[in-house]
Structure 1
Amino acid sequence: MILPQYDQRCGWYELLNNVSDFPELTNDIDVDVLVVGAGFVGCAAARRIAENRPDDSVLLIDALKVGQGASGRNSGFVIDQPHKRDLESNDELLKEKIVRLNRVAIEYLETQIERFAIDCQWSRAGKYQAAVGARGNKLLDHYESLLRKNKESFHRLSRDELREVFGTEYYTAAIHTPGGALMQPASLMRGLADTMPENVKIAERTAVQSITRKGPGFEIITAKARVSCRQLILGTNVFTAELGYMADRILPIMTFASMTAPLSDAQLRCFGGQMDWGITPADHGGTTVRMTQDRRLIIRNSYRYAHDYNTPQDLIPGIAERHRDAFIARYPHLSDVSFEFTWGGTSGLSGNFETYFGELEKNVFASCCDQSVGAARGTISGMMLADMASGLKTELLDDMKIVSGKPSRLPPKPLLRVGVPMRLAMARMASRSEV
């Protein structure tokens, strides 16, 4: 069994101060609900089911410290607009449901952040989608046509606005959509964990080794304890297959990010742009860029088939060089700004681009195959899994079922080990002008 590992490289997590500690589970315990994985899905599910059933006991466990896994490694976007593939659907009601669910997730997160004063650089800054060359401009034009068709608000930036916002002449076009949010993901995850309802117990560094159905419930074995529970919620994404579910249906793809040291006052003046924004590329194979509230620039690009789920450390120097090239292309006037962190994070994709949500078997609930939109999708999925496990019937739950599907079966792993890197290499070549 492959277990999650932490490599001390994730900038978001390494910058945290005064991280609380939830002890490893060392004593056997009997609970009503066990939630495995304390990412966006798991934290939302644990909070929601505790709210739904305040007299029930809930245990939330994670193999790592909360915030060290995939949810704490993303680029800090919580998006309301679906990716272009979903926008291209001819089913107008389906698109409306996706956007509505994402916006409910954003509002739910914002409510917790405000209620508990979670310091996570939360900002309703929306997001930019930007193009570099002809390929990107064509894709951006198509994106604009989809936004218009769906009657969504957006603003296309002029060349002067591009330079004023991003502090660079590199981009030729960009569109801003206002509905999403930006945040520091590891800070957000820690804040959500630290403010759980009283009937939620958390155990960190507690990896699941096996799951066995026992009587009306389940017995879960960890390194030092047994957990008996009546219901089980899995927020384990790519690791779900390691627990015996969704085998051959989750494609783990890793992407990489680098974060600079904070810009000095002089470097900030040289930068010349605005603070607190995020760019996603018009071309999926392009480069994501963030400017954080604490003066750090983030570059994210490069993909690999993560058959081992975790980050091979020998890849990091080459990835950092690739990020450096993308950084200097945009900011040659900031050549004295150094990278402080480089890390990888894994998303779960599917062969037919379908996400999974539902009951895997009686009283085992899961959401996986997040398609690289884990913050909003994971949050609303966790909320709705809790409602499903509680026997609630709501319009939001009905919508969640409608927008979810059945991920297709993937080819055998030996073929994936050859085919996926080839496919990624071809995509990288096609997108090279946008990196």
Structure 2
Amino acid sequence: MSKQINLPHDDSSCGWYAALSQQPACKRLHGEQRADYVVIGAGFAGLAAARRLGELMPDKRIILVDAQRVAQGASGRNSGFVIDLPHKFALEHPDPAHKQRLLSLNRAAIAQLQGLIERHGIDCQWSHAGKYQGAVGQRGLAYLAHFEQLLKNLGETFRLVERDELAQVLGNTYYSRAIFTPGCYLMQPAALVTGLAHSLPENVELLEESPITRLQRKGQGGWLLQGSQGTIRTAQLLLGTSIFTQEFGYLRNRLLPVMTFASWTRPLNDTELAAYGGQLDWGLTPADHAGTTVRMTQDRRLIIRNTYKHVPKYGKSTSDAMRESVRDDHRRAFLARFPQLADVPFSHTWGGVYAISRNFTNFFGELEPGVFASACDNGVGAAWGTISGTLLAEMAVGGDSAQLRDIQTVTGMPSLNPPEPFLGLGVRSRIRLAAWNSRSEL
């Protein structure tokens, strides 16, 4: 197989990445390289896969390669939730055992991340803060009641929080009610993934700013990865490439590239913090999934995330004008919640692209002999990427475990998409309809 790769094209305005201290110079792909295993994509899945390979195969050479710097892609652009509970669509699965497997896998990922953070001293605002799921009006309250029933059916711990109590946390009375679930962790995603990258095993070599532009099968059981300044030969290839998996010829017409956007403020000063009146270090997701996610970070920044776009050309589907329009939408959502902070500006607005599937199914497994992939996290990237990458490495070396069997049970093949232009028309129409129906929750 030989195919030209369409590369990531992310904006340079991600607040999380801008808040990092200056990163050390990176190592790039040069010349002819050979490795026993190559992992493409240094997000949560790729980092976990490379780490586990390094642990399991200490005498083998493993190369982890990414087109950008670590944390410049999707893993450094999310809102910083590491969620244990599956999203609504997975919670509605009819098989209770399926949901328990998902919970167990997500919680194993959280425990794994916490262990790595403690062992390597990764400073990433890691916090067992839990998560609020909030409702504004009647539409949101109906979704919240449904979520409450799903949690009861699952036997999960939760707490209803009414407006007045919620206002003491959030610094506003915008929300009518929320459900608090204790299992979620919060973090600074760019700081976390760079910390994970800097603490990889010694036999894992990280190559950044080294896009793979062509992938070719060379004889039986071998691959040649072509970059602009070098090549890598390997017998075993693991893809932690999310939506870009389709660029390598796999899962074609099965993944939907969607971008969601966030804006955040500069850190609030003492006067602004007093006017805000709420707490630090919390996160709220909307009961209506098309609503607004809000966070207050440990370092006093407020984050607003909403607005979804279908991006068939990934970052090239966006523009400065689009981000300005999104920023205006975020400003309206911010002022509706925090009118007392009208003079506090946004410092950054950014987008991040991720993969969803029409049947909300995650892919995990062997695509063809010697090629393994975890793709399509359906919006739960930090936890799912961590555990799926770890288990993908175990599969690649012929391992077996209860967790590996569990992830194989709960994953499958994303369904086929309609052809263009019908796909684009349908996705854009659905996004617009969801935004319209959810306008009271924005």
What SS class does the counterpart of residue 226 from structure 2 fall into?
Answer: strand
Residue 109 of structure 1 is aligned with which of 113, 116, 121?
113
Q: Does structure 1 retain, via aligned residues, the 8 Å contact 2:260–2:353? A: yes
Aligned equivalent of 1:59: 63
Aligned equivalent of 2:343: 336
1:3 aligned onto 2:10:
no
Residue 334 of structure 2 is aligned with which of 314, 327, 330?
327
Aligned equivalent of 1:270: 275
Residue 409 of structure 2 is aligned with which of 402, 405, 417?
402
Q: Does structure 1 retain, via aligned residues, the 8 Å contact 2:16–2:190? A: yes
Q: Does structure 2 retain, via aligned residues, the 8 Å contact 1:248–1:410? A: yes
Give CA deviations for 1:275-329 in whole Å, capped at 9, x if unaligned: 1010110001100001000000000000110111114322011000000000000
**Runs of 5+ consecutive residues of structure 1 not aligned to the other structure:** none
Aligned equivalent of 1:182: 186
1:290 aligned onto 2:312:
no
1:36 aligned onto 2:40:
yes
Aligned equivalent of 1:304: 309
Report the AA paired with residue 387 of structure 1: E
1:347 aligned onto 2:351:
no
What pairs with 1:157-236 in structure 2 (closer than 5 Å)? 157-215=161-219, 216-236=221-241
Report the AA paired with residue 140 of structure 1: L
Residue 53 of structure 2 is aligned with which of 16, 28, 49?
49
Residue 241 of structure 1 is aligned with which of 243, 246, 249?
246
The 2-side partners of 1:21 and 1:192 are apart by 16
What SS class does the counterpart of residue 377 from structure 1 fall into?
Answer: helix
Report the AA paired with residue 265 of structure 2: T
Q: Does structure 2 retain, via aligned residues, the 8 Å contact 1:279–1:289? A: yes
The 2-side partners of 1:5 and 1:352 are apart by 27
What SS class does the counterpart of residue 255 from structure 1 fall into?
Answer: strand
**Runs of 5+ consecutive residues of structure 2 not aligned to the other structure:** none
The 2-side partners of 1:123 and 1:233 are apart by 31
Moved more, 3-12 or 224-233: 3-12
% identity of equivalent residues: 52
1:365 aligned onto 2:400:
no
What SS class does the counterpart of residue 318 from structure 1 fall into?
Answer: helix
The 2-side partners of 1:315 and 1:398 are apart by 43
The 2-side partners of 1:21 and 1:52 are apart by 28
The 2-side partners of 1:398 and 1:217 are apart by 27
What SS class does the counterpart of residue 128 from structure 2 fall into?
Answer: coil
Number of residue pairs matched by the alignment: 435
Q: Does structure 2 retain, via aligned residues, the 8 Å contact 1:347–1:372? A: yes
Q: Does structure 1 retain, via aligned residues, the 8 Å contact 2:265–2:345? A: yes
The 2-side partners of 1:159 and 1:349 are apart by 33
CA RMSD between the two structures: 0.9
CA shift, 1:21, in A, is: 2.6
Q: Does structure 1 retain, via aligned residues, the 8 Å contact 2:10–2:352? A: no
Residue 132 of structure 2 is aligned with which of 128, 142, 148?
128
Moved more, 192-201 or 16-25: 16-25
The 2-side partners of 1:25 and 1:48 are apart by 22
Q: Does structure 1 retain, via aligned residues, the 8 Å contact 2:164–2:173? A: no
The 1-side partners of 2:127 and 2:222 are apart by 42
CA shift, 1:167, in A, is: 0.4
Report the AA paired with residue 296 of structure 1: R
Q: Does structure 2 retain, via aligned residues, the 8 Å contact 1:5–1:64? A: no
What SS class does the counterpart of residue 157 from structure 1 fall into?
Answer: strand
Runs (4+) off by over 3 Å: none
CA shift, 1:199, in A, is: 0.2
What pairs with 1:241-260 in structure 2 (closer than 5 Å)? 241-260=246-265
Q: Does structure 2 retain, via aligned residues, the 8 Å contact 1:6–1:64? A: no
Give CA deviations for 1:366-393 in whole Å, capped at 9, x if unaligned: 0111101111011111001000001101
Give CA deviations for 1:346-379 in whole Å, capped at 9, x if unaligned: 1101111111111010110001111011110111
Q: Does structure 1 retain, via aligned residues, the 8 Å contact 2:133–2:144? A: yes
The 2-side partners of 1:228 and 1:270 are apart by 59
CA shift, 1:148, in A, is: 1.1
The 2-side partners of 1:158 and 1:288 are apart by 18
Give CA deviations for 1:158-193 in whole Å, capped at 9, x if unaligned: 222111010001000001111111000000010000
CA shift, 1:6, in A, is: 3.5
Q: TM-score, normalised by structure 1?
A: 0.99
The 1-side partners of 2:395 and 2:48 are apart by 13
1:119 aligned onto 2:123:
yes
Report the AA paired with residue 435 of structure 2: R
The 1-side partners of 2:15 and 2:50 are apart by 26
The 1-side partners of 2:209 and 2:273 are apart by 39
Residue 98 of structure 1 is aligned with which of 92, 99, 102?
102
Aligned equivalent of 1:315: 322
Aligned equivalent of 1:426: 433
Aligned equivalent of 1:391: 398
CA shift, 1:26, in A, is: 1.1
CA shift, 1:339, in A, is: 0.1
What pairs with 1:14-29 in structure 2 (closer than 5 Å)? 14-29=18-33
CA shift, 1:28, in A, is: 1.1
